[in-house]
Amino acid sequence: MITTASLAPYLGGALALGGVAVVASRRRELLVRWCAWAVGVPLVTGAFWWGRPGAAAVAITAGVIAVMEFGGLMRLGRADRVVLAAAVTGVVLTAWWAPGQVLRAVGIGALAVAAVPLLSGDADHGLRRLGTGLLGLAWLSVLAALVPLGASALALFTAVSVADIVAYFAGRRLGGPRLSPLSPAKRWSGTLAGAAAGLGTLAVLSAPSWPMAVAVAVGGPVGDLLESMVKRGARAKDAGRWLPGSGGLLDRIDSLLVALAVLLVLR
């Protein structure tokens, strides 16, 4: 059984090795990104060590930040963002306190999101606001899965992150056909290399299973392309600018979101 305690040494070792590689590279942007990881990894690991309350806290924090970034990209008003953030928070709390009622919580959240443009009588942009809000709810409520999955979600995030990094560097070096017009820099060669690295990470973490493997190999790249589509539609390079080396939080967890959804379906 995967536990946070069993994962902690691997995460600490990977962080240390990454620090050595970054120092050797002498690239400032990599050093900035590593510093952000050096702060974030212990905080998230400590929260998961706490159990379901910690996982819920991580999910709610990430969900609210992601809603604000998503709302900014899609030009949602303050009321739309607040209600969407409340809906995502409600789904996460339900996953913690009453797991059997999660679908009901999603339904209530969808009604609340729909009510904002309807009650405001927005005939010009109401349909866009409604569709955008429901997409945000479906996309970001998946963070509620962090609560029941616990350490497995932490292992999944680690594997997806390794796959992302390897896919980026391998794609640039190997070249070949593009993965999608949505993200011209991504190549099939990099995606396949990243998938192999992600599966190897699952094996090292003693977390291999076919649902986890599909989540990493398929869900991760699809999640990355989904955010690329959203950003291209918004004509934005990053979801935010506050996270050193990564832009915004959505830029960091985009692959994880769809990977979590795939894992939930397959489990």
What is the tens place of the pLDDT at every residue in 92-130? 999 999 999 999 999 999 999 999 999 999 999 999 999
Query: 10 Å Cβ neighbour count for 2?
Result: 18
The token pair that represents 184 in the structure block: 């011209």
pLDDT the model gives residue 262: 97
DSSP three-state, residue 187: strand
Amino acid identity of residue 30, one-letter, is: L
- Checking if the pLDDT of 22 tops 80, the result is no
* Amino acid occupying residue 169: F
Look at residues 218, 135, 235 and name the one whose alpha carbon lies nearest to residue 179.
Answer: 218
pLDDT averaged over every residue in the chain? 92
d(CA 185, CA 88): 32
Q: What is the pLDDT of residue 20?
A: 81
Pairwise CA distance, residues 239 & 245, whole Å = 12
Predicted local confidence at residue 19, as pLDDT: 80
Binning pLDDT at 50, 70 and 90, where does residue 143 land? very high
Low-confidence winner among 85-89, 165-169, 262-266 (lowest mean pLDDT)? 165-169
In the chain, where the domains are located: 53-145
Handedness of CA 174, 177, 178, 180 (dihedral sign): negative
pLDDT in tens, 196-232: 999 999 999 988 899 999 999 999 999 999 999 999 9
Dihedral of the alpha carbons of 246, 64, 258, 263, in degrees to the nearest 10: 120
